[in-house]
Amino acid sequence: MLVLMNVNATDEQTQAVCKRVEELGYRPHPLPGATRCAIGITGNKGAVDADSLSQMPGVAEVIAVSKPYKLVSRDMKSENTVVRFEGSDATVGGTELALMAGPCSVESRDQLFHAAEAVAKAGARFLRGGAFKPRTSPYAFQGMAEKGLELMAEAREAFGLLIVTEAICHESIALVDQYADMIQIGARNMQNFALLKLAGRSKKPVLLKRGMAATLDELLMAAEYVMSEGNYNVVLCERGIRTFTDHTRNTLDISIVPAVKRLSHLPIIVDPSHAAGKREKVAPLARAGVAVGADGLIVEVHCDPDHAFSDGAQSLYPDQFASMVRDLRGIAEIVGRTMYQPTSAAVTK
Ligand code: PEP
Ligand code: MN
């Protein structure tokens, strides 16, 4: 159920509706739009008694939402969500393409800083780097944990980047929440519902990667978990799915981008690195991602990929990343997006 307020409804009227929803034993989710506010209602098992709400001052309409996902749906909010970050003018979902780049894992101060400097110079606004790594083998490098987060935070200050890093469990999400600008939930945890609820209680934007066997509906329901806890700043990410092909690590399902745009107001970015698995395929897939209408990219970059602790084969060298970004500028313009142009002073430290 969702309550659509009048264009000229006052804040007091919106608050009064929220209060009434609470009195009925449900949870209100006010999502202000460009022209009017919509209030999503969750926590109800069946239909909500619409009459008691539809007569309230300022209410335009009470609408039943038939889809299983409600807060992520375009029915709830017709215009695109633009995710913003405290202390920065970078956005995800606005006109500017969001460019996130950096190593798969944080390995050392030197490794992280070299990569951070390179991606900042090329035009990235976000530094990626995992401090908690979900690895297939328990014997593989598991990440530097809190020390890795400290280094990410240092790199943020040194290069003026926002930091996005993965949380894999209850303990790590508490730490990631303290340090990061954006909490990444990885493909393997897309349906870790307890973790999604914790991300939903954070004030930080969440980057939610599609599970490698997840359908569009399952991805949207995972985002609904986060939003149902009150965190409305969710960015989806297509990173490739498992198919029968073996010429890539995963199959980049770029068709999910327009499919998401049709059903949801949430931004979606593309990760060409985990789809490709091999660095020579990363730039072509990144170009396809921008062309298909993604709101940004997340790309793995390493200065010495042959010695990377994880995902070296799919990591771009800094000069390859810079040349990929230059090529993307032309495509971005055609699809009506802008790209950040760094000033050299901003990245020299
Ligand atoms: C990563 O971003 O390094 C990662 C582990 O990604 P995914 O969850 O998409 O496999
Ligand atoms: Mn990786």
86-104 pLDDT per residue, tens: 999 999 999 999 999 999 9
230 close to 196: Cβ distance less than 8 angstroms: no
Among 59, 52, 48, 47, smallest CA distance to 9 is for 59
Mean pLDDT across the stretch 7-20?
96
Q: Which residue is closest in CA terms to ligand 1's atom 1?
A: 104
Distance 314 CA to ligand 1 centre (A): 12
Q: Which ligand is nearest to the CA of 135?
A: 1
**Residue 295: pLDDT over 70:** yes
Give the model's pLDDT for residue 103.
98
What pTM was estimated for this model as a whole? 0.96
Mean pLDDT across the stretch 37-47?
88
Structure tokens at 126: 């976000």
Ligand 1 pocket check for 186: Cβ under 6 Å? yes
**Residue 46: pLDDT over 80:** no
Lowest mean pLDDT among 32-36, 54-58, 167-171, 206-210: 32-36
Give the model's pLDDT for residue 34.
85
Report the residue among 163, 165, 248, 274 best suited for mutation to probe ligand 1: largest number of ligand atoms under 8 A from its CB: 274
Distance 214 CA to ligand 1 centre (A): 14
Sheet holding 59-63, edge to edge: 27-32, 37-42, 2-5, 59-63
Among 268, 314, 249, smallest CA distance to 105 is for 314
Give the model's pLDDT for residue 66.
80
Q: Which residue is closest in CA terms to ligand 1's atom 10?
A: 187
Give the model's pLDDT for residue 347.
63
112-127 pLDDT per residue, tens: 999 999 999 999 999 9
Q: Which residue is closest in CA terms to ligand 1's atom 4?
A: 186
Distance 242 CA to ligand 2 centre (A): 16
Query: Which residues is 96 bridged to in the sheet?
Result: 338
Q: Which residue is closest in CA terms to ligand 1's atom 3?
A: 104
Distance 186 CA to ligand 1 centre (A): 5
131 close to 144: Cβ distance less than 8 angstroms: yes
207-256 pLDDT per residue, tens: 999 999 999 999 999 999 999 999 999 999 999 999 999 999 999 999 99
Q: Which residue is closest in CA terms to ligand 1's atom 9?
A: 187
Ligand 1 pocket check for 302: Cβ under 6 Å? no
337 close to 290: Cβ distance less than 8 angstroms: yes
Neighbouring residues of the ion ligand 2, judged by CB less than 5 Å? 104, 311
Structure tokens at 105: 């894992």
Distance 98 CA to ligand 2 centre (A): 18
155-207 pLDDT per residue, tens: 999 999 999 999 999 999 999 999 999 999 999 999 999 999 999 999 999 99
Give the model's pLDDT for residue 345.
61
Q: Which ligand is nearest to the CA of 184?
A: 1
125-160 pLDDT per residue, tens: 999 999 999 999 999 999 999 999 999 999 999 999
Mean pLDDT across the stretch 297-313?
98
